Structure 1
Amino acid sequence: MPASTIQRTARPRRSRTRSRNINGRPALVISTLKPHQYDLRPACASLICPDCKTWVSITGIQAKKHKLVPHDTGRAGKDLAVRCQGSNRLVTVDVTFEKWQERLQDGGAETASRRPTTVLPKAFSHRTDQTLRARAERTPAGRVADWNAVLGRVGDVDAARKRMPAGDAPLDGPSVPMTTLHPQRPAC
């Protein structure tokens, strides 16, 4: 009889199983894992399987015996169906939900303190620092007085810009208009 050429793929994982099979390996103790490697919420109690490194549900979280759901090493429907050696392994839950949550929050705070979150400003030169400090100390009345002090010089610069340079006009080009042109549209 010829062998089947169809490759079996991993089955979707069931969250709850009624299998009485128990893995012969020693029970997995939750307190030996890091707090981010397991989840003790009653709705989705799960942990990272030490063998295949995937998240696996823990059955019977409210019962006396807890164990890992039978699972395959690959992704469901994509990879080959290879049963993980950690399937049906007993789990010893020796950490309370409150203690786990506290350890998880402490670890998050500790990790956040190691990450650089503040942006350090670029160092100023001595002159820039003096300018910024002087600008911060100025009042609105002081700013108006400063503007009035330079207003005469600003007017002189504007008048100099409006003057035409001395010299002959270009011979081969059109003359430059001295007034602003406002073209009119022809009446239709």
Structure 2
Amino acid sequence: MATTTVEPQARKRRRKTRTKNISPLPALLASELTASQIDLTPGKEHVFCPACSNWTPITGVLGTPVLVPHHTTPYHDPTTTPRRCSNTNRRITLDTAIGTWRADLAERTQASPTVASRRPTKVLPKPKAHPAPAASQLAPVPLSAEQVRRMFRQHQEQCLACRGEARDRAGQKLPCRDGERLAVTFLRLLRQEPKRQAVREFFARERRRFDREYAGATPKRGAGWAAVLPAVQNADQLRRAVPQGTHPTDGPEVPLVPRQAAAQPERGQLMCERCGATESSLVDAVAAGWHRITRRLHCGRCADRFPAWTRTSF
């Protein structure tokens, strides 16, 4: 007769720990733990186990609060052997109010350096940096012996080595490289000053000579007017020779009779604003090619002298 082997099955794990075993160790005090080592959120009470350094739930909050049974290492880690923690079923006294715990936790969180580093900093306006000028735009300023002498005296007043007060461990005076460089520069410029002065005087003389030659080559204002004066006088004589009231052949006629003395149109007649021609009616004026220019009546002959875009038909 064949026998069959039945594999054992694990019992279903209880959702809540229901045990009457209590650890003989003294009870933990919640007041002795920091706000970051305990969580008193209703329904999610946890405590940082001091024995295994793991967050452990608290059961029996309404009765006898104890730490639930737990291991020192995660139970799902296959590389380690599970071992029951010594604080399993250990009692804990919740002698801290939830409001006090939340206030301590908020104060500790605000004082934490990591939280302070995550706070947004004040946005400061970036200073506007002006672009540096190009090398061709730089105007070098020549140094003079007097400027270097002032810089050297100012350096001597501020430098301890130049005044002989700076000494090394052996008691020897320390030399000053900056003071030596300024002194050498002052002596070099003082030696070259006569040559520099001669060069400056030479350029000043050349500048004055160039200005004199440029002023002599420029024609004077009176000479230029004298050259065009005969042409202006000839134009004036030609203008006076033209009799008043006449016009060139390619231009319009100029009325010799003033407009104020012109005959006034009779009642019902239309009169041209330019030459004074009249028409008996509007129909005759349209037939004769009259137009309105700048809201004024002009006969056909006078209207043809104006551009087409200025003429408005009746």
Into which bin does the TM-score normalised by the smaller protein fall?
Answer: 0.5 to 0.7
Matched, 1:101 2:102: yes
Q: Say whether the 8 Å CA contact 2:31–2:95 is kept in structure 1.
A: yes
Cα distance in 2, alignment partners of residues 18 and 114 from structure 1:
40
- Deviation string 1:4-24 (CA, Å, 9 cap, x unpaired) is xxxxxxxxx976311111111
Q: 1:15 to 1:108 in 2, by over 3 A?
A: farther
Deviation of 1:112 (Å) = 5.0
Please state whether the residue corresponding to 2:43 is helix, strand or coil.
helix
Please state whether the residue corresponding to 1:42 is helix, strand or coil.
coil
Deviation of 1:106 (Å) = 1.0
What is the aligned partner in structure 2 of residue 18 from structure 1?
18
Please state whether the residue corresponding to 1:99 is helix, strand or coil.
helix
How many corresponding residue pairs? 115
Relative contact order (C-alpha < 8 Å, sep 6+): which is higher?
Answer: 1
Deviation of 1:115 (Å) = 3.5
Q: 1:113 to 1:86 in 2, by over 3 A?
A: closer
Please state whether the residue corresponding to 2:82 is helix, strand or coil.
coil
What is the aligned partner in structure 2 of residue 71 from structure 1?
70
Cα distance in 2, alignment partners of residues 48 and 14 from structure 1:
23
Where do 1:136-155 residues align within 5 Å?
none
- Deviation string 1:168-187 (CA, Å, 9 cap, x unpaired) is xxxxxxxxxxxxxxxxxxxx
What is the aligned partner in structure 1 of residue 54 from structure 2?
54
Cα distance in 1, alignment partners of residues 52 and 122 from structure 2:
40
Q: Say whether the 8 Å CA contact 1:35–1:104 is kept in structure 2.
A: yes
RMSD: 2.8
Cα distance in 2, alignment partners of residues 106 and 83 from structure 1:
35
Sequence identity, in percent?
32
Q: Which has the larger radius of gyration?
A: 2
Cα distance in 2, alignment partners of residues 21 and 113 from structure 1:
42
Deviation of 1:114 (Å) = 7.7
Structure with more helix by fraction: 2
Deviation of 1:109 (Å) = 1.2
Q: 1:93 to 1:74 in 2, by over 3 A?
A: same
What is the aligned partner in structure 1 of residue 89 from structure 2?
88
Matched, 1:35 2:50: no
Q: 1:74 to 1:104 in 2, by over 3 A?
A: same
Gaps of 5+ in 1: 1-12, 129-188
Q: Say whether the 8 Å CA contact 2:23–2:89 is kept in structure 1.
A: yes
Q: What TM-score does the superposition give when structure 2 sets the normalisation length?
A: 0.33
Q: Say whether the 8 Å CA contact 1:30–1:94 is kept in structure 2.
A: yes
Deviation of 1:69 (Å) = 0.3
Q: What TM-score does the superposition give when structure 1 sets the normalisation length?
A: 0.53
Deviation of 1:52 (Å) = 0.3
Q: Say whether the 8 Å CA contact 2:17–2:68 is kept in structure 1.
A: yes
